Chain A
Amino acid sequence: DAGVIQSPRHEVTEMGQEVTLRCKPISGHDYLFWYRQTMMRGLELLIYFNNNVPIDDSGMPEDRFSAKMPNASFSTLKIQPSEPRDSAVYFCASSLALAVGSYTFGSGTRLTVV
């Protein structure tokens, strides 16, 4: 398996623009997680899905952030409008419900909002 695939790897955008981050989980994994990593706050869980259904979005910073999982092989995290404080590395991870050792991260998207 190719692992969790995220795109793009790097994104530079201007404040106010819409940003869409993409994730393809490992085939067969039924959980998908979106994290944000910054120096100040470390790894923060934003939202996670089980069988394509959002389970907990309490980590989503504000209404500018939204996430969708239209099918088992694709998820998006959208920021609209983007702000400089959104600059961070965004990770997607997937896992099997009963196999915590299967929890696998993608390589991340480094977002810079100028």
Chain B
Amino acid sequence: GQQLNQSPQSMFIQEGEDVSMNCTSSSIFNTWLWYKQEPGEGPVLLIALYKAGELTSNGRLTAQFGITRKDSFLNISASIPSDVGIYFCAGQQTSGSRLTFGEGTQLTVNP
């Protein structure tokens, strides 16, 4: 089945630094989602992208839907300790279909 390749697998950064992570696929997706999972909780939706080329922000987070519809990017600016967690990308190929999840990026922010 379709797979999402998410990178990097983990990141260790200093507070205040910017962060970039991405998700790629060999298949086309019509919707891209980015989730954050904190310890002991389920993933929580951060940003949803619905159109190729779309750039959407949520506070210090910015995500982009790639033009080819085969990739997406998430940037976090001026990281803070509470940004720690696992960030997942997810794609949906057609309306109502199941989501496909990436493997996750584990983010650690050192104060």
Contact = CB atoms under 8 A, between A and B. Distances in A.
Interface of A: 4, 31, 33, 42-43, 45, 48, 56, 91, 93, 97-98, 100-101, 103-108
User: Chain A binding site: helix, strand, loop or mixed by DSSP?
Assistant: strand
Given A42-B101, A42-B103, A43-B101, A100 B33 contact: yes
Interface of B: 31, 33, 35, 40-45, 48, 88, 90, 92, 95-96, 98-99, 101, 103-104
B99 A107 contact: no
Contacts of A4: 42
A62 to B, nearest CB: 19
B99 A103 contact: yes
Contact of A103 (B33, B40, B41, B103): B33
Contact of B43 (A48, A56, A101, A105): A105
A106 B103 contact: no
A97 B42 contact: no
B31 A100 contact: yes
Given A43-B88, A97-B95, A97-B96, A104 B45 contact: yes
A33 B43 CA distance: 13
